[in-house]
Amino acid sequence: MTGLADVAVERRGKAVVARLSGEIDMTNASYVGGELVRSVPNEASGLVVDLTETRYLDSAGIELLFELARRLRRRRQELRLVLPPSSPLRRVLLLTEMHSVAPLDDELDSALAHL
């Protein structure tokens, strides 16, 4: 808990789902990044970060997702992001080519189906 954002982690079969709610900026990005890294055990097939409840994500937040993808790739684990089609974050994520390292799904179920 950092006040601005909250990370809720849940196991779904072999995958880990982390729901990111609230606002992520340079004041809490590294904290949130740490929480996400710690949430993935070695035996997990991958991590789904659900951004449905994320109200704000600046470049520090985007950087933490890139860093997370890098780390997971090294451990041969996949990172997928869930983002509803109407989310205002969408354009920014596409602009920074986030989808090149973490595929975007509209819904959690389709993200889990890919893992």
Distance CA 81, CA 2 (A): 22
Distance CA 67, CA 75 (A): 13
Q: Does 60 bind other proteins (CB under 8 A)?
A: yes
Give the end-to-end CA distance of the chain in Å, rounded to a whole number: 28
Residues for the chain: how many in total? 115
- Considering only 4, 9, 101, 108, the residue that binds other proteins (CB under 8 A) is 4
Q: Does 101 bind other proteins (CB under 8 A)?
A: no
Q: Does 92 bind other proteins (CB under 8 A)?
A: yes
Number of residues counted as binding other proteins (CB under 8 A): 26
Q: Does 91 bind other proteins (CB under 8 A)?
A: yes
**103-107: long-range contacts (C-beta < 8 A, 24 or more apart)?**
104/80, 105/48, 105/80, 105/81, 106/82, 107/82
Q: Does 56 bind other proteins (CB under 8 A)?
A: yes
Q: Does 74 bind other proteins (CB under 8 A)?
A: no
Q: Does 25 bind other proteins (CB under 8 A)?
A: yes
Six-digit token string for 54: 């994320």
Tell me whether residue 91 or residue 113 sits nearer to other proteins (CB atom).
91
The residues binding other proteins (CB under 8 A) are: 1-2, 4, 23, 25-31, 34, 55-56, 58-60, 62-63, 66, 88-89, 91-92, 95-96
